[in-house]
Amino acid sequence: MLNIQKTIDGSCATLVLEGRLDSVTSEELENELVETLDDMTELVLDLEKLEYLSSAGLRVLLSAQKIMNKKGSMKVTNVCDTVMEIFEVTGFSDILTIE
Amino acid sequence: MAIKLSGRIDSNNAASVEQEIMEKLDSSNPSVVIDATDLAYISSAGLRVLLRIRKAYPHMEIHGVNSDVYEILDMTGFTEMMKVEKAYRVVSVEGCEEIGHGANGKIYRIDQDNVVKVYKNADALADIQHEREVAKLALILGIPTAISYDVVRVGESYGSVFEMLNARSFSKILETEPDKMDWCVGEYVELLKKIHGTLVPKGKLPDMKETVVSWAEFMQDHLPEEAGKKLLDMVKAVPQDDHMIHGDYHTKNVELQNDEILLIDMDTLAVGNPIFELGSIFNAFIGFSELDHNVIKEFQGYDYETAGTFWHKFLAAYLETDCETKIREVEDKARIIGYTRLIRRSIRRGGLETEEGRREIDFWKTRLLELLERTDKLTFNPMELELEAIPENLEEVQAFVDDRLEKTDCSPKAQMQIDVAVEEIFINIASYAYAPDKGKAVVRVEVSDDPVTVKITFVDHGIPYDPLAKEDPDVNLPADQRDAGGLGIFMTKKFMDDVNYTYMDGQNILTLMKNL
**pLDDT tens-place string over residues B393-410:** 999 999 999 999 987 888
B122, pLDDT greater than 80: no
Mean of pLDDT values over B330-340: 98
HSE value, Cβ hemisphere, 13 Å, CA-based, for B273: 24
Q: Where in chain B is the domain with CATH 3.30.200.20?
A: 97-163
Of the candidates B155, B156, B164, which has an alpha carbon nearest to the alpha carbon of residue B135? B164
Mean of pLDDT values over B466-483: 86
pLDDT score of B254: 94
Percent of chain B past pLDDT 70, that is, above it, reads: 100
pLDDT score of B265: 87
Q: Which residues of A touch B417 (CB under 8 A)?
A: 85
B257 DSSP assignment? E
Of the candidates B127, B139, B108, which has an alpha carbon nearest to the alpha carbon of residue B262? B139
pLDDT score of B99: 78
How close is the nearest chain B Cα to the Cα of A51, in Å?
Answer: 9
Disruptive mutation site among B487, B489, B494, B495 for chain A (greatest number of A CBs within 10 Å): B487
pLDDT category of residue B151 using cuts at 50, 70 and 90 = confident
Q: Which residues of B touch A91 (CB under 8 A)?
A: 475-477
Give the start-to-end residue ranges of the domains of chain A. 2-95
pLDDT category of residue B335 using cuts at 50, 70 and 90 = very high
pLDDT category of residue B203 using cuts at 50, 70 and 90 = very high
> What confidence tens digit (pLDDT) does each residue in B420-461 have?
999 999 999 999 999 899 999 999 999 998 889 999 999 999
The residue of chain B with its CA nearest to that of A88 is B475
Superfamily of chain region B384-515: Histidine kinase-like ATPase, C-terminal domain (3.30.565.10)
pLDDT score of B454: 95
User: Does residue A60 contact residue A28 with C-beta atoms inside 8 Å?
Assistant: no
> What confidence tens digit (pLDDT) does each residue in B52-90 have?
999 889 889 999 898 889 999 999 999 988 999 888 888
The per-residue pLDDT of chain A, averaged, comes to: 93
Between A and B, how many CB-CB pairs are < 8 A? 69
> What confidence tens digit (pLDDT) does each residue in B302-328 have?
999 999 999 999 999 999 988 899 999
The residue of chain B with its CA nearest to that of A53 is B420
Q: Where in chain B is the domain with CATH 3.30.750.24?
A: 2-87
B353, pLDDT greater than 90: yes
Closest partner residue to A86 (CB to CB) among B392, B482, B491 is: B491
Beta-carbon separation of B479 and A24 below 8 A: no
User: What does DSSP say about strands B89-90 and B150-154: parallel, antiparallel, or unpaired?
Assistant: parallel
Residue B505's contacts (CB-CB under 8 Å, 6 or more residues apart) are none
- 3-class DSSP assignment, residue A20: strand
Fold entry, domain B97-163: Phosphorylase Kinase; domain 1 (3.30.200)
Report the distance separating Cα A92 and Cα A88, nearest Å.
Answer: 6
Q: Where in chain B is the domain with CATH 3.90.1200?
A: 178-374
The residue of chain A with its CA nearest to that of B413 is A82
CA angle B476, B482, B486 (to 5 degrees): 90
How close is the nearest chain A Cα to the Cα of B433, in Å?
Answer: 16
pLDDT score of B450: 82
Closest partner residue to B484 (CB to CB) among A22, A53, A62 is: A62
pLDDT score of A30: 95
pLDDT score of B221: 96
Report the distance separating Cα A88 and Cα B473, nearest Å.
Answer: 14
Helix B355-374, helix B324-348: angle, nearest 10: 140
Amino acid at B111: D
- Considering the four listed CATH numbers 3.30.750.24, 3.60.40.10, 1.10.940.10, 3.40.50.300, the one that applies to the domain covering B2-87 is 3.30.750.24
User: What does DSSP say about strands B97-101 and A2-9: parallel, antiparallel, or unpaired?
Assistant: unpaired
The CATH class given to the A2-95 domain equals alpha beta
User: Does residue B214 contact residue B220 with C-beta atoms inside 8 Å?
Assistant: no
Residue B69 CB: number of other CB atoms within 10 A?
23
pLDDT category of residue B288 using cuts at 50, 70 and 90 = very high
Residues of B engaging A, defined by a Cβ cutoff of 8 Å: 391-392, 394-395, 412-413, 416-417, 419-420, 423-424, 427, 475-480, 482-484, 487-488, 490-491, 494-495
- Considering the four listed CATH numbers 3.90.1200, 1.10.3470, 3.40.50, 1.10.286, the one that applies to the domain covering B178-374 is 3.90.1200
Report the distance separating Cα B331 and Cα B237, nearest Å.
Answer: 18
pTM of the model: 0.78
Report the distance separating Cα A22 and Cα B430, nearest Å.
Answer: 14
B484, pLDDT greater than 80: no
pLDDT score of B391: 93
- Interface confidence, given as ipTM, is 0.93
pLDDT score of A60: 95
The per-residue pLDDT of chain B, averaged, comes to: 92
